[in-house]
């Protein structure tokens, strides 16, 4: 199961996809970032401004992300 942490001050959510050592991050846009390990495997996703909606387009594990976000009350999602 994916883990997540919400930061109310930043209105952001970080979703841990799998354990690994952070190597670099890639910004999809101003509100979405994917973190990768040393083998170029996605290990985490940061999404900003989640109270205004969540854009899942182009994110890995999007179907799993939908389940996690719905479980915690996020409804406005673009897929």
Q: Where are the domains of the chain?
A: 3-78
**34: pLDDT confidence band, cut at 50, 70 and 90?**
very high
**1: pLDDT confidence band, cut at 50, 70 and 90?**
low
pLDDT in tens, 42-74: 999 999 998 888 999 999 988 888 888 888 788
Determine the Cα–Cα distance for residues 38 and 30; give it in Å rounded to an integer.
24
Say if strands 42-48 and 32-37 run parallel, antiparallel, or are unpaired: antiparallel
Sign, CA torsion 64/15/55/75: positive
- Looking at residues 9-37, what average pLDDT do you find? 96
pLDDT, greater one: 32 or 66: 32
């Amino acid at each position: 199961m994916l883990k997540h942490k919400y930061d109310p001050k930043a209105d952001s959510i970080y979703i841990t996809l799998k354990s690994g050592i952070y190597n670099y991050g890639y910004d999809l846009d101003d509100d979405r970032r994917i973190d990768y390990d040393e083998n170029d495997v996605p290990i985490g996703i940061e999404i900003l401004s989640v109270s205004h909606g969540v854009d899942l387009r182009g994110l890995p594990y999007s179907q799993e992300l939908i389940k996690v976000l719905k479980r915690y009350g996020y409804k406005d999602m673009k897929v």
